[in-house]
Amino acid sequence: MSPIQKLTELKRNWHGHTRDRLARYVALMTQVEALRVEVSALEAEIRRTEHSTLAGAHKDARIRGLASRAAESYGRMLSLLREAADTYPAILTEPLDIPHSFSRRERERLIELPECPPGPGRRDIGVFIAIGVTFVLVAMLHSSHAAAWRQRHAAMKRGRCGSAGGRAPSIAPSPLDPPRPAW
């Protein structure tokens, strides 16, 4: 093997080695960026959970779970950064193609947040209260009207209706009856 062939072989091996290290570095930094995005999303979910209307114990358990996942992802991210620092090629001849942001679809594919059942909103609670108040008022109105009807019906059954010589029975007017004209 001639010295030029040896130099060419050495250069080819060096470029192959550098290219492999560069590819490994790019892969590690892409994973680091994905973990950074995941940690940010988990922190945002923790803040949303802190301000949610969940029960205290459920809220605390959810925050602990999210914080545990965030700490685990953060630790993995630091480990990958150390590994990337060891892998970093001494001579960079190509620009790095590391994504610094992900599309919404890529984020959803990379990050799986636990589902939180939505609680009833204030509007829903207001509607339920309005329905309940309406139901109570209708029940009260119906019960007072039914009591007046039962009194009239009992008076008619006792025979007051026919004993007055064909005249209508004299029953005190109910407060629910419409007012009669004075003429």
Residue 107 lies in a domain: yes
pLDDT of residue 95: 54
Residue 182 lies in a domain: no
109: pLDDT strictly greater than 90: no
Pair of tokens at residue 115: 């589902």
Taking the C-alpha atoms of residue 89 and residue 64, their distance in angstroms, rounded to an integer, is: 39
30 and 44 in a single domain? The answer is yes
Pair of tokens at residue 183: 């003429």
87 and 168 in a single domain? The answer is no
108 and 143 in a single domain? The answer is no
Which of 71, 97, 119 terminates a domain? The answer is: 119
Q: Contact 42/69 with Cβ under 8 angstroms? A: yes
DSSP3 helix / strand / coil % (the chain, rounded to 5)? 70, 0, 30
∠ at Cα 147 (146, 148), nearest 5°?
90
39 and 90 in a single domain? The answer is yes
49 and 78 in a single domain? The answer is yes
pLDDT grade, residue 166 (50/70/90)?
A: very low
Whole-prediction pTM:
0.44
Boundaries of domain holding 144 = 121-177
pLDDT of residue 22: 79
Which of 81, 102, 119 terminates a domain? The answer is: 119
112 and 125 in a single domain? The answer is no
Amino acid at site 41: A
Taking the C-alpha atoms of residue 183 and residue 174, their distance in angstroms, rounded to an integer, is: 20
Higher pLDDT, 42 or 88: 42
Residue 183 lies in a domain: no
Q: Contact 70/43 with Cβ under 8 angstroms? A: yes
pLDDT grade, residue 151 (50/70/90)?
A: confident
Q: Contact 30/99 with Cβ under 8 angstroms? A: yes
79 and 15 in a single domain? The answer is yes
55 and 145 in a single domain? The answer is no
Taking the C-alpha atoms of residue 170 and residue 163, their distance in angstroms, rounded to an integer, is: 11
125-157 burial, b at 16+ Cβ within 10 Å, e below that, comes to: eeeeeeeeeeeeeeeeeeeeeeebeeeeeeeee
Q: What is the 3-state secondary structure (H, E, C) of 2-56?
A: CHHHHHHHHHHHHHHHHHHHHHHHHHHHHHHHHHHHHHHHHHHHHHHHHCCCCCH
pLDDT grade, residue 139 (50/70/90)?
A: confident
Among 121, 132, 100, which residue's Cα sits nearest to residue 33?
100
Which of 119, 137, 169 terminates a domain? The answer is: 119
14 and 58 in a single domain? The answer is yes
pLDDT grade, residue 39 (50/70/90)?
A: very high
Domain count of the fold of the chain: 2
70 and 142 in a single domain? The answer is no
41 and 95 in a single domain? The answer is yes
104 and 125 in a single domain? The answer is no
